[in-house]
C-alpha cells in the first residue's frame, strides 16, 4: 500500500487542483491532503474565498482524496510523514527544490497552465 500526501489551500477548487490530485492518486493507493487552515493562510499572506470547512467539503467529495488533515504550519510535514507512514509527497512544480528533507520521496507534478485560485478570484472581481 503506497501512501501519498500533498498540501495546499485548494480555494475555489478548480481544474488545476483536480489534475494535481488525479495524477498523485494514480501513483499511490491512499492520498492524504494537508489542507491549509484559515489561520495558516493568514500567516502565508493568503486570504481564501472559501473557509476551511467549505474547502474541506469540496475535497471530501473527490474520489482521489482518501483523508484530509489540517495544515497549520510549514514545519509539520516531517511529523506527518512519520505519523502517516507516507511514501511520497506530491507537489506542483511551483515548489521544485522545496521540502527535500522531510523523510520521504518528493515528486513534483507539472502545474496545469492558465488556471489558479488567484486568477479565478480576479476574474470574479473584474466581472469577467
Ligand atoms: N496546482 C496545479 N496547477 C494549478 C494550480 C495549482 O498543479 N494550475 C497545484 C499546486 O502546485 C499545489 C496544489 O495545486 O500543489 C494546491 O495549490 P494552491 O496553491 O492551493 O492553488 P493555486 O490555484 O495555485 O492558488 P493561488 O492562486 O492562491 O496560489
Q: What is the pLDDT along the chain (128 residues), one digit of tens a residue?
A: 999 999 999 999 999 999 999 999 999 999 999 999 999 999 999 999 999 999 999 999 999 999 999 999 999 999 999 999 999 999 999 999 999 899 999 999 999 999 999 999 999 889 87
Find the 97 Cα to ligand 1 centroid distance in Å: 16
Distance CA 31, CA 89 (A): 10
Find the 5 Cα to ligand 1 centroid distance in Å: 15
What pLDDT is stored for residue 47 in this prediction? 92
Distance CA 24, CA 3 (A): 10
Q: Ligand 1 in contact with 17 (CB < 6 A)? A: yes
Find the 93 Cα to ligand 1 centroid distance in Å: 10
| Element containing residue 33 per DSSP (H, E) | strand 30-36
Specify the residue with its C-alpha closest to ligand 1, atom 25. 117
For the full predicted model, state whether its pTM sits above 0.85: yes
Q: Which among 42, 41, 25 is positioned nearest to 33, based on CA atoms?
A: 25
User: What residue spans of 2-128 are helical by DSSP H?
Assistant: 15-26, 38-44, 52-60, 76-83, 117-125
**What does residue 88 show for φ and ψ, rounded to 5 degrees?**
-140, 135
Q: Ligand 1 in contact with 118 (CB < 6 A)? A: yes
Choose which residue among 19, 34, 111 to substitute to test ligand 1 binding: the one with the highest number of ligand atoms within 8 A of its C-beta. 111
Helix or strand or coil: residue 92? Answer: strand
Percent of the chain that is helix, strand, coil (3-state, to 5): 40, 20, 40
Amino acid at each position: 500500500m503506497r501512501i501519498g500526501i500533498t498540501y495546499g489551500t485548494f480555494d475555489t477548487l478548480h481544474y488545476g487542483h483536480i489534475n494535481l490530485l488525479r495524477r498523485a492518486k494514480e501513483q499511490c493507493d491512499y492520498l492524504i491532503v494537508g489542507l491549509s487552515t484559515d489561520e495558516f493562510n493568514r500567516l502565508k499572506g493568503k486570504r481564501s474565498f472559501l473557509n476551511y470547512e467549505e474547502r474541506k467539503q469540496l475535497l471530501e467529495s473527490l474520489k482521489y482524496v482518501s483523508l484530509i488533515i489540517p495544515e497549520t504550519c510549514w514545519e509539520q510535514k516531517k511529523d506527518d510523514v512519520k505519523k502517516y507512514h507516507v511514501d511520497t509527497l506530491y507537489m506542483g512544480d511551483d515548489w521544485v527544490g522545496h521540502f527535500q528533507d522531510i523523510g520521504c520521496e518528493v515528486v513534483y507534478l507539472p502545474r496545469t497552465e492558465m488556471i489558479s485560485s488567484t486568477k479565478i478570484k480576479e476574474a470574479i472581481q473584474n466581472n469577467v
